[in-house]
Amino acid sequence: MFKKSVLTSITSFLVILSIVLGASIVHVELAVAASLSSLSDTLSSVKVNTTADHTIQFVTPSGLTAGQSLNIDTINELYNLTLSHLHNIIYMLKKYPQLLLVSLFMIVGLFGLQLTSKIEHALALALSGLSDTQSRLTVSLPSDHTIQFVTPVSGIGAGEAITITLPAGYATGTFAIANFDLATSTSASCASVADALLQSGAASGLTWGVTVATSTIYIRSGTATVPGNRCVQVRIGSNATFGGAGTTTLVNPSSPGAYQINLTSGANDTGYVTQYIVPDDAILMSGIVNQSLTFTVSTSTIYFGVLGAGAAKFASSTNSLGDTTETIAHTLAVGTNAPSGFTLSVRGQTMTSQQNSANTIDYIGGSAASSTPGVEQFGFRATESGGVGVTVSSPFSSPTSYGYNATATTSATVAVGSGSTPTSTFSVRYVTNINAVTEAGTYTASLIYVATANF
């Protein structure tokens, strides 16, 4: 008889416990959703096993919208079942009062567990917009990380933290605060972010504190907060530049495969990013650009005509009598893709008598000089157009004077190009002067221009 009573009491206790736990779940869920207020149920009769009318009243917190329903649940069967065992429960509690204390402790404890579980589940929200852009994905290579996520409505409160947990295989390297940047936006977009102040160790006011324990990185707020629906960006490595020049210290796992990086933010809001580490993320490409050098001379024959001591003569490619005013005798054009550019040089004897090679017209030399009739002179000057990084060399670069310092066996530099250049065009102007005793004869000169690419 005693065993039966104990069994009955235990059964009844479990029934009451189920009601209490069920009620706790209902109340917690209502608290999380929103509570009705001013609730009442007026019965026409409260006698057991008697039919009764109900007048139920309450005030809605957020109203009812189209498509929603109003649910009224009853627990008559459970209620009747409980009443059928109530007598046995009261009897056992009178006979064994210590059961009351034990029952109360168990009910309170289980209620607390249910309440904690429901509240934590309600408050833990999911992070969104998660990404981790690494600079390298090759096994065992150092890599920068740019981690981004959007906070849920709860945001990040004062004293709360951002936690980044790297999976086994990643190596964190040597800790330095310069290797970390934290930035937030004013919206869910990460297009524009503002950097926050960081320091090593504990947070202080608006300055966040950064610590690293094994493979977990903690970035904790002091008084700073981040509202909900805001982009949060964490930069780790050489891409961290706000507080100083960062260095790449995180090293990828040595084995290829998928790795999950776990994130926690604020009030236990969570998310994760999956990275796939590969044997080699680089693709080696090769190609050949052929060397190129072009060089053209507009004409191979120019004329001075008859020379006289009273006036200068200028060479012409179209007038066999020469010109008495300066004119462009011919052009030279050089183009190359040589990385170190090109050199344009000239060599050749000055104007020399064909009847007697000992008779020559003096060349001007390495220092530019103006045209002076009555004084033996031979020289030229050049101007450049169209090229990139091209310079005409002295003595040929003067805007109004002339020079010439080459010989039949010695070259003189006319111009240089410092790098690859499109076509560079040189316009060349020649002058010859004689004096009253310059030997008679037919004078000629053969100048050889050479363009050399510097690959």
Enter the pTM of the model: 0.54
Residue 441: CB atoms within 10 Å: 14
Per-residue pLDDT of the chain (455 residues; tens, 9 = 90+): 444 444 445 544 544 444 444 434 333 333 334 566 676 777 676 566 677 787 888 777 666 666 556 666 554 444 444 444 555 556 555 666 665 565 565 555 555 555 444 444 445 799 999 999 999 999 999 999 999 999 999 999 999 999 999 999 999 988 899 999 999 999 999 999 999 999 999 999 999 999 999 899 999 999 999 999 999 999 999 999 998 899 999 999 999 999 999 999 998 999 999 999 999 999 999 999 999 999 999 999 999 999 999 999 999 999 999 999 999 999 999 999 999 999 999 999 999 999 999 999 999 999 999 999 999 999 999 999 999 999 999 999 999 999 999 999 999 999 999 999 999 999 999 999 999 999 999 999 999 999 999 99
pLDDT at 27: 37
pLDDT at 118: 44
Q: Provide the Cα torsion 111, 115, 118, 122; round to 10°.
A: 170
Q: In whole angstroms, give the CA distance from residue 34 to residue 122.
A: 12
- Please give the C-alpha separations between residue 112 and each of 123, 213, 311, in angstroms, as whole numbers: 16, 33, 117
Q: In whole angstroms, give the CA distance from residue 216 to residue 5.
A: 56
In single-letter form, the type of residue at position 144 comes to D
- Please give the C-alpha separations between residue 432 and each of 55, 376, 428, in angstroms, as whole numbers: 125, 7, 14
pLDDT at 46: 59
* C-alpha closest to that of 182 among 128, 231, 216, 126: 231
The domains located in the chain, with CATH, are 1-33+73-123 (no CATH), 128-277 (2.60.40), 293-453 (no CATH)
pLDDT at 332: 98
